[in-house]
Amino acid sequence: MAMNVGADPGEEPGVMATINTTPLVDVMLVLLIIFLITIPVITKTVPVKLPKANNIPTHTTPQDITIAVTKDGSIFWNNESVSSDTVLLQKIEQIAVEVPQPSVHIRGDRDADYKAIGHVLYELQRGGMVKVAFITEPHSGALAAQ
């Protein structure tokens, strides 16, 4: 970092090429204070008496269901093995009538056949499920880019 103390003896003093920002900052702070003071005065609202509201607890959302499809096509309902398609459909029909309807998260193995995951989707549609999502892992390059 260099500092200009003065001109060399025998040389004429040159023009300073840097900008002094202190007056600019001072002016901006004064303008900010003026705006902060005048905006509440300018803002006018119609005086009304607002109604009092009771704090009513909202309905809790149901727990999400996770359906896992393994590499060999086995289906698991919240970590419990599902023995057949009829049992899966019965479970789906039981939760499909709940209000609000829980969402179903499908965890499909990377090496699982698309047919097995498609079959689970078909059973969810037959059972009347509306909220279906897929759980994936982020690409390793995506984490490094962030």
Provide the 8-state DSSP code for 26: H
The continuous run of DSSP H or E covering 107 comes out as: strand 104-108
Q: Residue 80's Cα: distance from chain center in Å?
A: 30
Please write the tens of the pLDDT for every residue from 77-110: 999 999 999 999 999 999 999 988 999 999 999 8
3-class state of residue 66 by DSSP: strand
Q: Left if phi > 0, otherwise alpha if psi is -120 to 50, otherwise beta: which for 10?
A: left
The structural domains of the chain, ordered by start, are 65-136 (3.30.420.270)
Give the CA angle between residues 16, 20, 26 to the nearest 5°. Answer: 165
Please write the tens of the pLDDT for every residue from 6-55: 666 666 667 777 888 888 999 999 999 998 888 877 777 666 666 676 66
Instruction: Give the closest residue to 71 by CA, choosing from 108, 31, 44.
Output: 108
Give the span between the Cα atoms of 69 and 104, in whole angstroms: 13
